[in-house]
Amino acid sequence: MTIKPLIILPDPVLRQVSKPIERVDADLQRLTDDMLETMYDAPGIGLAAIQVGVPRRMLVIDLSKEGEEKQPLVFINPEIVGSSDDRSVYEEGCLSIPDYYAEVERPAKVTVKYLDREGKEQSVEADGLLATCLQHEIDHLNGVLFIDHISRLKREMVIKKFTKAAKSKVL
């Protein structure tokens, strides 16, 4: 398994819309393993393939706490097929926007259809942190970042900060 470099804001790659996966094969399974290792190393609780530069509709999540047994989840071609009217607020962060956190309001429950790591059709009714995490990661597959859900002023401030940081690294 390999730890892959993370794509960081304001890299335009993060705005790409990822394409559906046509076949779940050994190469794809290797990518899911690399993504999990990259996420654990960061550490984070969710990672979309586009965040390691692969524009394919796939994401990994693990909400287990430190010291607990790992609970890796793999979602291939995930699709939100239902969401609740009631909403919840979580403070979100993102491995592509390091050390920045902001409260985001989203539907409290979602139903997601997807293929698992073996390519088998699955469906999950998620609430709590899993619901928020799934929505955050599925947004990535559509080129959407959690900062798109906060105020324009805050978003412009964080983009400016990361643009400046990226420039100083190049020079």
Task: Give the C-alpha separation, 60 to 62, whole Å.
Answer: 7
Active-site residue, 137 included: yes
Provide the minimum distance between the beta carbon of 95 and Ni ion in the complex, in angstroms, as a whole number.
6
Q: Does 7 bind Ni ion (CB under 5 A)?
A: no
Q: Which is nearer to Ni ion, 25 or 103 (CB)?
A: 103
- The separation between CA 102 and the C-alpha centre of its own chain, rounded to angstroms, equals 15
Q: Which is nearer to Ni ion, 25 or 148 (CB)?
A: 148
Contacts of 55 (CB under 8 A, 6+ apart): 13, 16, 17, 18, 19, 49
Q: Which residues pair with 115 in a beta bridge?
A: 76, 121
Task: Give the C-alpha separation, 154 to 163, whole Å.
Answer: 14
Q: Does 73 bind Ni ion (CB under 5 A)?
A: no
Sign of the four-CA dihedral 51, 126, 109, 66:
negative
Please work out the total of residues on this chain that contact Ni ion, with binding judged by CB under 5 A. 1
* Of residues 77-106, those binding Ni ion (CB under 5 A): 94
Q: Which is nearer to Ni ion, 24 or 51 (CB)?
A: 51
Q: Does 14 bind Ni ion (CB under 5 A)?
A: no
Q: Which of 79, 92, 125, 137 is the catalytic position?
A: 137
Binding site for Ni ion (CB under 5 A): 94
Residues involved in catalysis: 137
